[in-house]
Amino acid sequence: MTKPLDHENRGISARLLDQPYLLLILAPLFWGGNVVAAKLVVDEIDPFLLLASRCVGATLFILPFSWRFLAADWPLIRRHWLLLMAYGAVGYALFNGFLYLGLTTTSAVNSSIEQASLPMLILAANFIVFRVRATLLQILGVLIAISGVILTATHGDPARILTLDLNVGDGFVILACLTYTAYTLALRFRPQVHMMTFMAVAFLGAAITALVMLQLLGSGIASFAEIPQMSPLVWAVIVYVMIFPSMFSQVFYARGVELVGANRAAPSHNLIPVFGALGSVLILGERLELYHYLAAAIIIGGIVLADWAARRRR
């Protein structure tokens, strides 16, 4: 009885991994859920303890699946281990650390909308750092999208910038976005190792960084002892962020890119703030204010303009 069941499960997995557009919906769904999950337990667990639990757990979870790839890529790992771990330190630990810290004082809706600026921040950073050519319309699209982020961060009143009357939490979320932008730019130097190898070593770097952040900025490594006494909701959130946005989203997105190409897969990132905002309303009960709708429209308009300009140039 066991063998047919195992065969059937493998068949389901194989069929799932051959559905690119389903994968490219599930990946941003899980990433968007990261914000909602963290906000659910913001009053119950130190954000750095949540981060450390996620990173350490994700590292332990992925090792059995990546072991044979690690063995095959060992010569490259020995030469580039520091760079590979740095990707995890910046792209996983610092990004999520700033995000979770921001969620202690801002709403999940705000955080989701602010993350919508990532494509535009990456485009702008490529232009500034690597001199990747951009048209005036693309630059205009970037500026429009960033103005939408400013509208969100100032809660609908951009004049608050003049008095520096900004929500600290929104500032941390924007800092998280800048951190992920740096990570994305650095991916052009990524060693040519298998995706599972990259994730395993990067997760290890993230775990070490998260433990250091917990000790220096959070409640200390000893606070791990508090987790067994925490509510089932905290446990569920830890398991969710450890597995779904950490591993499944990465694998599903990478497989989607493999099947349809990077250009056709890239727009799926725009679903992350959609799912995040939707989950914030449906699960957290947060309210959408008028400035949220306006900011989302502005950011989407900037993204569409920049994408149209890029296609027109080609």
Can you read off the two tokens belonging to residue 256?
């989607």
Task: Give pLDDT tens digits for 248-279.
Answer: 998 888 888 788 776 566 667 778 888 888 89
As a whole number of angstroms, the distance between CA 187 and CA 189 comes to 5
**Beta carbons within 10 angstroms of residue 307's beta carbon:** 17
Nearest to 276 by CA among 9, 37, 102, 32: 32
Q: Helices 108-115 and 20-40 meet at what angle, rounded to 10?
A: 140
| Count of all residues that appear for the chain in the document | 314
As a whole number of angstroms, the distance between CA 10 and CA 287 comes to 42
As a whole number of angstroms, the distance between CA 290 and CA 118 comes to 22
Can you read off the two tokens belonging to residue 195?
């995706």
Can you read off the two tokens belonging to residue 277?
């905002």
As a whole number of angstroms, the distance between CA 96 and CA 76 comes to 27
As a whole number of angstroms, the distance between CA 267 and CA 273 comes to 12
Task: For residue 131, give the 3-state DSSP assignment.
Answer: coil
Can you read off the two tokens belonging to residue 121?
């921040």
Which residue matches tokens 């947060």? 286
Please, where are the H alpha helices in the chain?
2-16, 20-40, 47-72, 74-88, 95-102, 108-115, 118-130, 136-153, 168-186, 195-217, 232-243, 249-260, 262-265, 271-282, 290-313
- Radius of gyration over every alpha carbon of the chain, rounded to an integer in angstroms: 20
As a whole number of angstroms, the distance between CA 123 and CA 80 comes to 27
pLDDT tens digit at each of 314 positions of the chain: 334 434 444 566 667 778 888 998 899 899 999 999 999 999 999 999 999 999 999 999 999 999 999 999 999 999 999 999 999 999 999 999 999 999 999 989 889 888 877 877 887 888 788 777 777 777 787 788 778 877 777 767 776 655 555 678 989 999 999 999 999 889 889 999 998 999 999 999 999 999 999 999 999 999 999 999 999 999 999 999 999 999 899 888 888 878 877 656 666 777 888 888 889 989 999 888 888 888 888 877 877 777 777 667 66
The DSSP symbol for 117 reads T
Supply the pTM of this predicted model. Answer: 0.86
Q: What is the reported pLDDT for 110?
A: 87
Amino acid letter, 163: T
Q: What is the reported pLDDT for 126?
A: 80
| Residues in CB range of 29: below 8 A, 6 or more apart | 271, 275
Can you read off the two tokens belonging to residue 244?
């779904």
Task: Give pLDDT tens digits for 122-177.
Answer: 878 887 887 777 777 777 877 887 788 777 777 677 766 555 556 789 899 999 99
